[in-house]
Amino acid sequence: MKFPIAHKTLGLAFTLLLYALTIPSQASGIWHESRQNHMGTEISVELWAPNKQSAETITKRAYAEVRRLDQMMNPWNPDSDLSRLNRAGAEGPVAVPREIIDVVARAQHYSALSEGAFDITFATVGRHYDYREGKAPTTEKIERERIKLGYQHIQVDEQAGTIAFDQPALQIDLGGIAKGYAVDRVINMLAEAGVKSAVVSAGGDSRVLGDLGGRSRIIGIRHPRKKDEFAALIPLSDTAISTSGDYERFFERDGVRYHHILDPGTGKSASGVQSASVMTSLAIDSDALSTTVFVLGVKKGLALVNSLPGVDAIIIDAQGQLHYSDELLLSTEP
């Protein structure tokens, strides 16, 4: 993948996306934009449609799809299939919807690739943090809980459609991968409905379908420390991009930044990186990988990305320095 990247930091509106630099120039139709809150974040659906009525009908279906997945995978909703699994997984195999099997299997793939930097069982410790309330568990508690987590304790039986845990305290949370999956589902749905050009975002996970009248969509990577600025601008078409940052959900105490991406090896917030952005075809992959690269840090993160064909990354380190994966570096050389 080759991207001409704008290195300049631009002071533009506070939003991940830089809107409407280009509007499709197809013959007749409208560019329809909408936003709703689901999955603990803002979901936006923008699409090109023949008219307002068809745009609204398709958009409504898109949000219904997001709500369906939220109901299935939300760990805080006691009625979700995921909560049911978390309650009963240690007692034996639990039958779960095929989509949970697929998402957990993909998560396990990235856990194996990253030797556990990405690990949905981080929640075994992670559930004891409350970022809104500014609460973190004691060091003793972190140590006690941390040794219980580990993706190896999840047994996925794809054939039987069941998942079991071989560790009684194990808890899983799909927060690092489910939004990407939801974005992919919505994009597939739009494509099946005949939409040729769209941008779907769920918080830091976006995917661009098609291009905008022959031109790429410009996606901005937020400056991790300056709310209204972008650290880089990237033109994308038919690609997903996810950004994991330490500025989304955090609190600070005694000079320590407690944020929502945990290093499963320590049970504490991963440090060394302010933001990690990953670009690849599917949002489920860019989502899981942005979290993975964030935890791995610059050196190991870039090594992983450079070993995966069709995957690119931009990492902003603790000093605010930008680092690019090999293919991006090649494409930005003069």
Residues near Mg ion, by CB under 5 A: 176, 244, 287, 290-291
**In the bound complex, what is the minimum distance in angstroms from residue 203's beta carbon to ligand ADP?**
4
CA distance 101 to 187: 20
Does residue 118 bind ligand ADP (CB under 6 A)? yes
**In the bound complex, what is the minimum distance in angstroms from residue 138's beta carbon to Mg ion?**
28
Contact 322, 222 (CB under 8 A): no
**In the bound complex, what is the minimum distance in angstroms from residue 104's beta carbon to Mg ion?**
15
Does residue 264 bind ligand ADP (CB under 6 A)? yes
C-alpha 176: how far from its chain's center? Answer: 5
Contact 151, 110 (CB under 8 A): no
Of positions 120, 195, 240, 284, contacts ligand ADP by CB under 6 A: 120
Residue nearest to Mg ion (CB): 291
SS3 content of the chain, % helix, strand, coil (to 5): 35, 30, 35
The contacts found for 84-90 with CB under 8 angstroms, 24 or more apart, are 85/163, 85/172, 86/171, 86/172, 89/154, 89/163, 89/164, 89/165, 89/170, 89/172, 90/164, 90/165, 90/166, 90/167, 90/168, 90/169, 90/170
Residue nearest to ligand ADP (CB): 175
- Out of ligand ADP, Mg ion, none, which partner does residue 235 contact, by CB within 5 to 8 A per kind? none
Q: Which DSSP helix (H) or strand (E) runs through 35? A: strand 30-38
CA distance 47 to 59: 8
Does residue 295 bind ligand ADP (CB under 6 A)? yes
Stretch that binds ligand ADP, among 86-94, 213-221, 257-265, 298-306 (CB under 6 A): 257-265
**In the bound complex, what is the minimum distance in angstroms from residue 51's beta carbon to Mg ion?**
35
Of positions 210, 223, 260, 305, contacts ligand ADP by CB under 6 A: 260
Q: Which is nearer to Mg ion, 110 or 129 (CB)?
A: 110
Within 114-253, where are the H helices?
A: 123-126, 139-146, 178-192
Of positions 212, 261, 273, 315, contacts ligand ADP by CB under 6 A: 261
Of positions 46, 70, 81, 119, contacts ligand ADP by CB under 6 A: 119
Does residue 203 bind ligand ADP (CB under 6 A)? yes
Q: Which is nearer to Mg ion, 47 or 232 (CB)?
A: 232
Q: Which is nearer to Mg ion, 32 or 179 (CB)?
A: 179
Residue 307 sits at φ, ψ, to 5 deg, of -85, -10
Edge-to-edge strands, sheet with 198-202:
30-38, 41-49, 198-202, 205-209, 239-245, 273-280, 312-317, 322-324
Q: Which one-letter DSSP state was computed for residue 90?
A: G
Query: How many residues bind ligand ADP, per CB under 6 A?
Result: 21
Does residue 185 bind ligand ADP (CB under 6 A)? no
Does residue 314 bind ligand ADP (CB under 6 A)? no
CA distance 250 to 3: 31
Site residues (CB under 6 A) for ligand ADP?
118-120, 122, 173, 175-176, 179, 203-205, 244, 248, 260-262, 264, 287, 290-291, 295
